[in-house]
Amino acid sequence: MIIFLDFLYMIERLEVTVTCDRSVRGVEEVARDEKRVTELRGRLVTAAKGTENLMPLFIECVENDVTLGEICNTLRGVWGEYVAQGF
C-alpha cells in the first residue's frame, strides 16, 4: 500500500512539474479537431467490422488526439466485451 501511494504521489508531482514547465515555457494546449475525431472513430467502426489491418488507423487516431478510452469504447461497441465463462 505504501509503495502504491508513493507511486501516486510521484505521478501527481510529475503532472504538476509538466504543467508548470509548460506554463513557464508558454506552451499552450491546442484544441483537438472534434470533426476529425468523429471521422476517425467512424472509420474505426468500419475497419473493425471488416478484415483491414487496424494498426495504421490506431496510429492515425492517436496522432489526431483520439484518446485510448475513445478507441477502446469504439471497438467495444463493435465487438462487445469478453466475459470469461463461469463468471
DSSP 51-70: S---HHHHHHHHHTT--HHH
pLDDT at residue 83, as a whole number: 87
Lowest-pLDDT range of 10-19, 25-34, 77-86? 10-19
Question: To 5 degrees, how large is the angle CA 9–CA 13–CA 16?
Answer: 140
Summarize the confidence of residues 7-19 as an average pLDDT.
Answer: 52
| Amino acid found at 16 | V
pLDDT of residue 28: 60
Q: Determine the Cα–Cα distance for residues 11 and 3; give it in Å rounded to an integer.
A: 12
Cα-Cα-Cα-Cα dihedral sign, residues 65, 60, 40, 50: negative
**Residue 1, C-alpha cell as written in the block:** 500500500
Give the pLDDT confidence of 20-63 residue by residue, as tens digits.
555 555 556 668 899 999 999 999 999 999 999 999 999 999 99
15 pLDDT exceeds 60? no
Single pTM value for the model? 0.64
Q: State how far the Cα of 79 lies from the Cα of 72, in Å rounded to an integer.
A: 10
Q: Which cell goes with 21?
A: 514547465
* For the chain, domain boundaries: 34-79
